[in-house]
Amino acid sequence: MKKLKIKILKKTNYTFLLLVSCFFSSIYEITAQNQLYPATFNLNSLNGSNGFEVAGLPTDIQFGAETQFIGDINNDGLEDLAIGSGNATVNGFQLSGSAYIIFGSSNPYPNPFDLTTLDGTNGFVVSGIAYDERRGSTIAGVGDINGDGIDDVIIGSSNTNADEIVIYGTTSFPALFTINSINGTNGFLIDTPGSNQVAGLGDVNGDGMNDFIINTPHFSGQAWILFGRSSNFPASIDASWLDGTKGFKTSSFPGDRSSYKIGAAGDINHDGFKDILIGNWDSSDPAISFCLFGKGTPFPALVDLTALDGTDGFSIDNNGGNFLTFVGTLGDINHDGIDDFFSETNAIFGRTTPFPFHFSQSSLNGVEGFTLPGSLTSAGIGDINLDGIDDFISVYGNNGKAYIVFGSTNGFPNPINESTLNGINGFIINGLNPSNIGRPVSGNGDLNGDGIADFVVGSPYTPTTEIGKSYVIFGGDHYIKPLNSGYPQTENGTPTSINLVVNGPEAGTIHYAVFPWYHSSPSVNYNTILTGTGAVTSGNFAMNIQNTNVTHSISPLSENTPFDIYLFLEDAAGNRTQIYGLNDVLDTEDHLLSETAIYPNPTSAILNVDLTTDAIYELITVNGQVIQKGAFVNGKNIIDLTNVTKGMYFLTIATDLGGTSKKIIKN
């Protein structure tokens, strides 16, 4: 017989199996130009190594409304996290409230994290003991305020009669704290006339100690600033403590509930002292908030915010559209070496030139600031994408969106359009369930000890149960770009091998598995490729050159046999591309059979087979059943498929020199 040659136009069919699964190494190097986040972040991709979910217990109403990184309160070198549910029912007491402290760990976290496992070694619980105590409705990591070298934490309350609990950091905690646990040695109580928010400020008065702020909006409309000290506080303090030496108050100002929101600004005027932000509850337009500068000279016992003249602080216009004027620091998001901050939806850049006594919204021109995309609140989250610039999160947008925006030296659009967040300049988290009773976002804490800032976002109001969730997302690499268009490809090598060709914008490891042609593709997943379960052969090779063809020879393979090849790319951080499928690949098809035509395919009736030599054939179902067989002659041949059931079949052709198999589709 003559050498058989078949003309078959080989088309590579790509099968995308969107299975999101990845692992994270705790410490790794990342090339700065790589894209580290997708444009839309899938919370289902969290696996304990790259972040984790924390769900409230069945009685934790609006769990996650208050989420805060609180510093390293157990002195193990890792940042810790606190999540509050001020409306939780505890031991039958409605609105008693709870706060859950989760210690940082360099080991992967369980996902989801089970709050019932907190036992004092991995974290602890601070619970209310009475109806309407609302413990955990506000939380703050305040740094080291008693001079013992360990960060401290406040677990506050929004009840008008409940004291604030200050817990000193230490190396050992019980599994449960209540207000009755505080004895002056392990912490102290602050008697306020009803607070709504607490926050750490850093060093406001230049004495080298961390200070903090408590708002008291319900009756006085004032805020309390308490200075840190080099020894423990008394077991209980009240308003009389604020004498200008140990702390001071700020005045009320126009608004429905002035001082309803408070926060740290950072050092926005770059004078070496941390500054203070005072927000509002006011639906008027404009609603007013204030920034009070820190200083090294004494403060009076009461600072009149309405008298600020630009040298000691200034007032800020807000649009009042949300009626709550949240305030806080963003970090240095424009990389000019000066802290920036937000007030409601205003992002305002720090500067060394004087601020006006009143900052109007017309000043948000992209140069002095810009409008934030979220309508409730924002937070600085540190440098999560490793470009050396602080980033921030802003919540919420339509349908519960969270917007993560990367810091930039090139300015920000005003306002930021969510459709422009593409994974390179920021990304979006969809599907969160908002609430406005707390601060559901926080960041700039390294919970897993990898040297990269992490952040947390709350989804506090599940419509059916009112039990919320929080999502901790570790900073770093969460994304791998797909292979370049047209890849992977195959090239014939020898009669028992085939060359696999890949090309993509990111380096990593290609994992592959070769299956018989009758393999059912939906069963292929990452694990079957990695283990080679059911495969003829499997393996991996380095794709260590970006945007350049990398060729790998797969052998040994059976001659004249069709295969399905499945593969994916994994980067150094454990992110994986989708699974690519190369179906019905013939390793020697072009080597032996390059001058035969089989057409039309798909066909509804007649299949033409043009050969240059004699052959025998079989038509086989996907289950391996032979339904037709016969002989072909040199020249034109016809197979009548009129009475064959619609579906996929395989036509095998054999000669003295070898054979091949072709997938046939009957319509």
pLDDT at position 441 is: 98
CA nearest neighbour of 583 among 602, 567, 601: 567
For residues 517 and 564, the answer to whether their CB atoms sit within 8 Å is yes
Residues 452 and 314 reside in one and the same domain = yes
Domain CATH for 548? 2.60.40.4070
Which residue type is seen at 250?
Answer: T
CA nearest neighbour of 348 among 366, 373, 336: 366
pLDDT at position 590 is: 45
For residues 503 and 483, the answer to whether their CB atoms sit within 8 Å is yes
Average pLDDT over all residues of the chain: 90
Residues 449 and 504 reside in one and the same domain = no
Higher pLDDT, residue 380 or 461: 380
Residues 511 and 546 reside in one and the same domain = yes
Residues 520 and 468 reside in one and the same domain = no
Q: Is residue 48 part of a domain?
A: yes
Residue 2 has pLDDT above 50, yes or no: no
592's enclosing H/E stretch is helix 589-592
Given its phi and psi angles, is residue 532 left (phi above 0), alpha (psi -120 to 50 degrees) or beta?
left
Residues 443 and 384 reside in one and the same domain = yes
**Residue where a domain terminates, one of 473, 502, 535:** 473
Residue 29 has pLDDT above 80, yes or no: no
**Residue where a domain terminates, one of 585, 618, 646:** 585
For residues 83 and 124, the answer to whether their CB atoms sit within 8 Å is no
Q: What is the pLDDT of residues 465-522, one digit of tens each?
A: 899 999 999 999 999 999 999 999 988 667 788 899 999 999 999 999 999 876 555 5
Domain CATH for 70? 2.130.10.130
Cα–Cα distance measured from residue 170 to residue 186, given in angstroms and rounded to the nearest whole number? 8
**Residue where a domain terminates, one of 415, 443, 473:** 473
The residues near 293 (Cβ < 8 Å, ≥ 6 apart) are 269, 271, 273, 275, 276, 311, 312, 313
Mean pLDDT of all residues in 163-177:
98
Domain containing residue 279: 40-473
Residues 619 and 653 reside in one and the same domain = yes
The pTM score is: 0.81
For residues 565 and 500, the answer to whether their CB atoms sit within 8 Å is yes
Q: Select the highest-mean-pLDDT range: 25-34, 51-60, 614-623.
A: 51-60
Residue 595 has pLDDT above 90, yes or no: no
Two structure tokens written together for 378: 């924002």
**Environment class of residue 624 by beta-carbon count within 10 Å: exposed (0-12), middle (13-18) or buried (19+)?**
exposed
- Dihedral sign computed on CA atoms, order 58, 64, 65, 68: positive
Which residue type is seen at 209?
Answer: M
For residues 268 and 202, the answer to whether their CB atoms sit within 8 Å is no
Residues 442 and 400 reside in one and the same domain = yes
Two structure tokens written together for 147: 């001079």
Number of domains in the chain: 3
Residues 267 and 141 reside in one and the same domain = yes
For residues 231 and 186, the answer to whether their CB atoms sit within 8 Å is no
CA nearest neighbour of 211 among 222, 220, 198, 221: 198
Domain CATH for 634? 2.60.40.10
Residues 317 and 356 reside in one and the same domain = yes
Q: Peptide bond before 286: cis, by omega within 30 degrees of 0?
A: yes
Q: What is the pLDDT of residues 387-432, one digit of tens each?
A: 999 999 999 998 899 999 999 999 999 999 999 999 999 999 999 9
Cα angle 334, 339, 345 (rounded to 5 degrees) comes to: 75
Residues 184 and 84 reside in one and the same domain = yes
